[in-house]
Chains A and B, each alone.
Chain A
Amino acid sequence: MKNFLGTRWGIISVGGFIGVLAPLLQKLGNPGNMGVCVACFQRDIAGALGLHRAAVVQYMRPEIIGFVLGSLIAAYAFREFRPRAGSAPIVRFVLGAFAMIGALVFLGCPWRAMLRLSAGDWNAILGLLGLIGGIWVGTLFLRGGYSLSRSEKTYTSGGWLMPLIMLGFLILLFMFPQIKGEAKTGVLFYSTKGPGAMHAPVAISLIVGLAIGFLAQRSRFCTMGAIRDLILFRIPYLFYGVLALIAFAFLTNLIVGQFHPGFAKQPVAHTVHLWNFGGMVLAGLAFCLAGGCPGRQLFLAGEGDGDAAIFVLGMIVGAAFAHNFGLASSPKGVGPHGIAAIIIGLLVCSFIGLTMRQGKVS
């Protein structure tokens, strides 16, 4: 059966779908220019679990849970669930952690960078240029023979672990729902102010997450791959998806009154241009070395990829480090140790890219 979502018009539809729904999630309560942000939302999940105690970013985001479970449903519906694991898991964990740290210095993953741009936050231009730069460096490593080696088929139950973790998170969310004004319900932390306190109704967030997860699994939507494939192969397939996301998000933001052009006073953003750029260089490089943007890693984890699941866990732990160690930025600017973390991250990623080569590919 031909996979329509795997065609040019399919990926454009999926990008457009995300582009419309993300600003609407913001309209329904999600934080500014953060209708969907994979990095920010995983950081909020780390906060909800108490892995960090930054009181303003703690919430068990249903969108992330929906991404994994929606992908799982699509993978089973179309016989694409393939449990696999064993491709350099520790490397993927470290890449996940540094990808998150880079994203939190910029204050957003590639998804949010595009949403910020579509809402007129010009600081996102620096972030997107950084993202392109980081991916470009990653393609040099790939050209040089960089490889995380082969994964192997594993037990079905192994492929189920990340979806089960997400199901567990969902059960916790239902067992310990937010009580207005309370910072904790049962084991879950909740922000009472700040971005973590801003969210669309749980059911809507979950349904949108499931729909995006389902469609993105089918279309292979990937914000990093879009740029990487253009640089490496001049293949624009995935790029059409991100262009559609930006275009439709821009139109939706215009219609619902969320387009506010400028650099200053943008929601959950800072204007330190160099480190908006530098943060995303690190994130782009780490995503490229790991083979997918943070959303794609969730969709892969949903279809049974245990290595992508490890990357996701690396991101959640990276978020905890970022907030516990003062690495993450805030609207006031870069965190006290954010710059040091970026430099260390770039060194670690370069070390990985240079040393993990299986013979020169071209």
Chain B
Amino acid sequence: MPEIVDASGLSCPQPVLMTSDKMKELKKGEIEVLVDTDTSKENVSRAAESQGWEVAEVTESGTGYRILIKKE
């Protein structure tokens, strides 16, 4: 099960800050990030890729997006 980072409703740069901190904490594995805007979706994906994580899946949820990021 991926760890969940719920950043929905939070404004810039908190979704990226929370995701970065979780990536640093876990170092590898799966994280599911919840965001509610396209900007946050792009920012989180960009931050994950810059840290060597793969954006495995982006799905629309009721009020936003679920972004699954992975690192082996």
Knowing A82-B37, A153-B63, the reply to whether A142 touches B13 (Cβ < 8 A) is yes
Verify if B36 is at the interface (C-beta below 8 Å from A): yes
Knowing A142-B13, A147-B10, A307-B11, the reply to whether A361 touches B37 (Cβ < 8 A) is no
Chain A contact residues: helix, strand, loop or mixed: loop
Instruction: List, in ascending order, chain A residues with CB within 8 A of B63's CB.
Output: 153
Q: Are B13 and A228 neighbours in the complex by a CB distance under 8 Å?
A: yes
User: Separation in Å of the B66 CB from the closest CB of chain A?
Assistant: 16
Q: Are A87 and B11 neighbours in the complex by a CB distance under 8 Å?
A: yes
Verify if B16 is at the interface (C-beta below 8 Å from A): yes
Knowing A80-B38, A220-B42, A233-B50, the reply to whether A147 touches B13 (Cβ < 8 A) is no
User: Separation in Å of the A95 CB from the closest CB of chain B?
Assistant: 12
Q: Are B9 and A152 neighbours in the complex by a CB distance under 8 Å?
A: yes
Instruction: List, in ascending order, chain A residues with CB within 8 A of B16's CB.
Output: 229, 232-233, 235
Verify if A157 is at the interface (C-beta below 8 Å from B): no
Verify if B47 is at the interface (C-beta below 8 Å from A): yes
Residues 7-38 of B, flagged 1 when their CB comes within 8 A of A and 0 if not, give 01111111011101100100000000000111
Verify if B39 is at the interface (C-beta below 8 Å from A): yes
User: In the complex, how many residues of chain B place their beta carbon closer than 8 angstroms to a beta carbon of chain A?
Assistant: 23
Knowing A84-B9, A233-B50, the reply to whether A362 touches B42 (Cβ < 8 A) is no
Knowing A220-B42, A235-B47, the reply to whether A148 touches B13 (Cβ < 8 A) is no
Closest A residue to B51 by beta carbon equals A233
Instruction: List, in ascending order, chain A residues with CB within 8 A of B11's CB.
Output: 87, 148, 151, 291-292, 307
Knowing A220-B39, A362-B21, the reply to whether A151 touches B9 (Cβ < 8 A) is yes
Q: Are B9 and A142 neighbours in the complex by a CB distance under 8 Å?
A: no
A228–B13 alpha-carbon span in the complex (Å):
9
Knowing A80-B38, A237-B46, the reply to whether A291 touches B21 (Cβ < 8 A) is no
Most chain A CB within 10 A, of B10, B39, B42, is at B39
Instruction: List, in ascending order, chain B residues with CB within 8 A of A345's CB.
Output: none
Verify if A180 is at the interface (C-beta below 8 Å from B): no
A84–B13 alpha-carbon span in the complex (Å):
17
Q: Are B36 and A82 neighbours in the complex by a CB distance under 8 Å?
A: yes
The B-contacting residues of A in range 147-185, CB under 8 angstroms, are 147-153
The B-contacting residues of A in range 224-240, CB under 8 angstroms, are 225, 228-229, 232-235, 237
